[in-house]
Amino acid sequence: MARENSTMLDTNDPFPPLDLGLVDGRAFVLPQGFGEGYGVLILYRGHW
pLDDT digits (tens, 9 = 90+) for 35-47: 887 888 887 877 7
Domain extent, residue 47, equals 17-48
Structural domain contains residue 8: no
Interior angle at CA 44, CA 43 and CA 45, nearest 5: 115
Report the number of secondary-structure helices (H) and strands (E) in the chain: 0, 2
User: What's the structural domain count of the chain?
Assistant: 1
pLDDT given at position 37: 79
Mind listing the pLDDT tens digit for each residue in 1-40? 556 666 777 888 887 888 988 889 999 898 888 888 788 8
pTM: 0.49
**Structural domain includes residue 41:** yes
Would 35 be classed as within a structural domain?
yes
In-domain check, residue 6: no
User: Would residue 48 count as lying in a domain?
Assistant: yes
Residue 9 lies in a domain: no
7: in domain:
no
